Amino acid sequence: MLPNKAQAARRLFLQRLGVFSAATALPALLSSTVDAQSSTKGVSSAQRWGLLIDTSKCASGCDACVRGCHEEHGINSTGNEHTDAQWIRKIDLQNNLSGQKSSLPMMCQHCESAPCVDVCPTGASFKRADGIVLVNKHTCIGCRYCVMACPYKARSFIHEPISDQKSWAPRGQGTVESCTLCVHRIDAEKDQQPACAVACTDEAHSAILFGDLNDPDSDIVKAMANQPASQVRSDLQLNTGVRYVKL
């Protein structure tokens, strides 16, 4: 039998050990229940959706992705490109040194640390758990700070009343909007592709690949392993969800 003092010390040690292990186990326990909940319903951070755009397959003069996007979301041109919504645009580039020409679509890059999310005063500009950056138009007050903050000029302010919206793509005057990565398609069914990617494939270019950046077995991650993909304005270190091959 141990002396009283030692016994007391041991008891204290065991007590503390118990408290410590409970304290460390509790958050893990909690987070596992939260994960379990979110995996059954709604988006989860287990996925991170993204696009891989192969500029070598993208044809100059082809705007199938832009048309596909506009059709999907009911974006009708008013004839004024400066005030119309521009979710996705085509840019033709030429390398200043080599003279090599390339073409690519530019849209919301779904940044991990999105400047638009940082600056939004009401939190209307937000990032979903699966990495898609959206505007919650119910709380957007139309201050346009996110348009100022976006390095990619991917956001548009709606300058005039809109009619004939699609039921899955609500859009309206006085709020800001941008590419949603066709969130309504992704949520609705498994293995759905965004409209731009579908349009590109239909045109037989297949320059836009959509997939889960968190899934090592997905086509997009495999493709990125084969050839280096880069981010536009990688200097800003925003960890974009849209990557470009042969930029």
Window 61 to 120, contacts with other proteins (CB under 8 A) = 63, 66, 80-86, 89-97, 101, 106, 115, 117-120
Interaction residues for other proteins, span 171-200 (CB under 8 A): 171-176, 183-184, 186-188
- What are the CA-CA distances from residue 193 to residues 32, 41, 72, 105 (Å)? 30, 20, 12, 16
224 scored as a contact of other proteins (CB under 8 A): no
Please give the Cα distance from 182 to 74 (Å, whole number): 12
Query: CA 63, 69, 74, 75 torsion: positive or negative?
Result: negative
Please give the Cα distance from 108 to 117 (Å, whole number): 12
Residue type, 152: Y
**Nearer CB in complex with other proteins: 187/215:** 187
Interaction residues for other proteins, span 126-165 (CB under 8 A): 126, 128-130, 134, 136-145, 147-153, 156-162, 164-165
Binding mask 2-41 for other proteins (x = CB under 8 A): ---------------------------------------x
**Nearer CB in complex with other proteins: 8/148:** 148
CB of 121 to other proteins, least distance (A): 4
First to last CA, the chain: 76
Residue type, 160: E
3-state secondary structure of 182: coil
**Nearer CB in complex with other proteins: 89/205:** 89
